[in-house]
Structure 1
């Protein structure tokens, strides 16, 4: 009788993991990367129509593409790792200032590498992607640097490269990687449905760590040395927006992962609601006020709340999915 009960439990757990993979892929991952590809194409079209840094349609298209990337940026495995697509699309943090140096080098030499998509794909990843585009559109120096015709060609090359990378990501998910996750096999990338669930759990914790330690931790710096200009996308006033969008995307993933346990689902739901309320209550889009004690305190409270979500995730959700606490994609193998 005990053996039958154990078998039924094992089968039920396997079915739950399989259903979970399909749901996350169909409701979150594939639509998310499709939206990234669509936004990237719109960005490319906007740059071809009006490549000026002050173009409002171009800036709006940039914002929508960065929104779409932020919503899937925690899926740092599979297609995102191939050919360094993740870094080519979003080279951040850039602690050594490689992006402005790379862009200034291209502009100063009027490098013809911008003439074809194939040649531009060979340049340093620091000169590619969304954060390079932010410099071209919003940085006071780089947005006006050099010959206007070359600046336009560079902007268009970056936009086209973003669109191509985003399209490659979506295509790879649809044609290859989603199937690997739906049908794990012995000796394959995933050998069981449980391993697939664990991969998504690691993506959740990766996203929470990035938000707490990088999106919030970098501008906070230390009390004596706050670093507001280390915030993500501060030039375009998007630092807080990216935190909010990331938390909303991570909440959707967490709710799916926890939906077999109402108590854990409720704990996570409460923690995310608290963090999102705090984020939406901040009136500091680029975290400029971390240099002020009262402004710093509010960002620190938000960071602690995000870390509280991580604690709930590792302490409750991890064991539910059979994952040891704390492991994520940033830790390596």
Structure 2
């Protein structure tokens, strides 16, 4: 759903001057502040966001695995096109849940196995080349993936196999390309299904917490650990999008960009990924009846909640005209991309203030050092 914003508010939301004006908005009257119902937020998010998102990812990954099998059985241009679309659908589903870097997705490093990125040392490319040099009768089974690097177990490696310029020739060739692509897609589907089943089985336990720590939280009124993880899932990706998905590619100017640093550049989904990331973050903020927006209003922070909502809408307006490919947008929309990074910076600051308003200490950023 496309959000519309009141364009008369843009001057107060964009640029350095916005920070001073917004400072006045977010320190309003807290006389009507109420206690925050974290349990309602956690339960709604688990059932309305987390479980459906992982179910969708598992379904799309299964479709990709089936498409890859058909591709190897009939390696022609139509089958390749179908598999590429199945890949994009799976990638989009992952981008809608990749912000949730806690719980079952972290077991056995499945989060990194699904998408090892950014890969600043080109580990994935080197490992993939080594795998492609194996004999044609090589077996890519569970034991292979148990021993393999996380860099060739998921989406980035599969993207290289499916979207390289000579992909069809190599898939039709006598090498291991198609069998490896099929195996990676199958491994990806297995991981997605396992994560969804683990959330189904363990979601209630993760939601409620256990042991002395959970009891201490309840007695002290501290923010539950599950809630803190959800807040990290909302706040941390905004910085990742700005710094790693955009600024690292934009470089120092329109004539000094780094297109191949872009996430999913081969499949031309870099900006599509970002839009999906922001829609997922917005869902965590907005909720249905117990979203972060409502929690802020309970604390007497209606102006702050309104400013955050307006900025999500602004980013949607900025990104919609730019297409799916960041590489293509670099040539004709560089100024707009820079403006988007500024909007992301302001949104990041606003969300940081929201954390303070709700007495949340996010602590260590799990994405630092990637």
**TM-score > 0.5, shorter chain as reference:** yes
Quick one: higher RCO (CA 8 Å, sep 6+), 1 or 2?
2
CA offset at residue 267 of structure 1? Answer: 1.5
> What do residues 72-130 of structure 1 show as CA deviations (whole Å, max 9, x unaligned)?
11111122221110110001111122222212211112376644234334211111101
Q: 1:107 corresponds to which residue?
A: 132
Can you give the 5+ residue segments of structure 1 that lack an aligned partner in the other structure? 1-8
Q: Which residue of 1 aligns with 2:279?
A: 248
TM-score by length of 2: 0.79
Q: How much has 1:288 moved relative to structure 2?
A: 3.6
Instruction: Output the CA distance in 1 between the equivalents of 2:136 and 2:207.
Output: 42
User: Alpha-carbon deviation of 1:161?
Assistant: 0.5
| Distance in structure 1 (CA, Å) of the matches to 2:308 and 2:71 | 44
Structure 2 residue aligned with 1:155: 181
Q: 2:357 aligns with which of 315, 320, 332?
A: 320
Q: How many residues end up aligned between the 2 structures? A: 319
Which residues of 2 match residues 1-333 of structure 1 at below 5 A?
Answer: 13=35, 16-51=37-72, 52=75, 54=77, 55-110=80-135, 114-140=139-165, 144-145=169-170, 147-148=173-174, 150-187=176-213, 191-192=217-218, 194-223=224-253, 225-255=256-286, 256-260=291-295, 261=297, 262-283=302-323, 285-290=325-330, 292=331, 295-315=333-353, 317-324=354-361, 328-331=365-368
Q: CA deviation at 1:176?
A: 1.6
Shift of 1:19: 0.4
**Secondary structure, in 3 states, of the residue corresponding to 2:294?**
coil
Residues 248 and 40 of structure 1: CA distance in aligned 2, closer, same or farther (over 3 Å): same
2: CA distance, partners of 1:110 / 1:191: 56
Give, in whole Å, the separation in 2 of the partners of 1:113 and 1:78: 34
Separation in 1, partners of 2:137, 2:154: 18
Residues 278 and 302 in structure 1, CA contact (< 8 A), matched pair in contact too: yes
**Structure 2: tracts of 5 or more residues without a match:** 1-31
1:279 Cα deviation after fit: 0.5
The 8 Å contact of residues 203 and 328 in structure 1, kept in 2 or not, is answered as no
SS at match of 1:258: helix
Q: Is the 8 A contact 1:190 1:196 kept in 2?
A: no
Maintained 8 Å contact 1:203/1:329 = no
CA–CA distance in 1 between the matches of 2:226 and 2:76?
Answer: 43
What are the superposed Cα offsets for residues 193-243 of structure 1, whole Å, 9 maximum, x if unpaired?
Answer: 533222211111121122111111221122263101110111111011111
The CA distance in 2 between the partners of 1:228 and 1:151, in whole Å, is 25
- How far the C-alpha of 1:326 sits from its partner, in A, is 8.0
Structure 1 length as normaliser, TM-score? 0.87
Cα RMSD (Å) of the superposition? 2.7
Cα separation, 1, equivalents of 2:149 and 2:165: 22
Relative to structure 1, the CA distance from residue 167 to residue 112 in structure 2 (aligned partners, 3 Å threshold; closer, same or farther) is farther
Q: Is the partner of 1:330 in helix, strand or coil?
A: coil
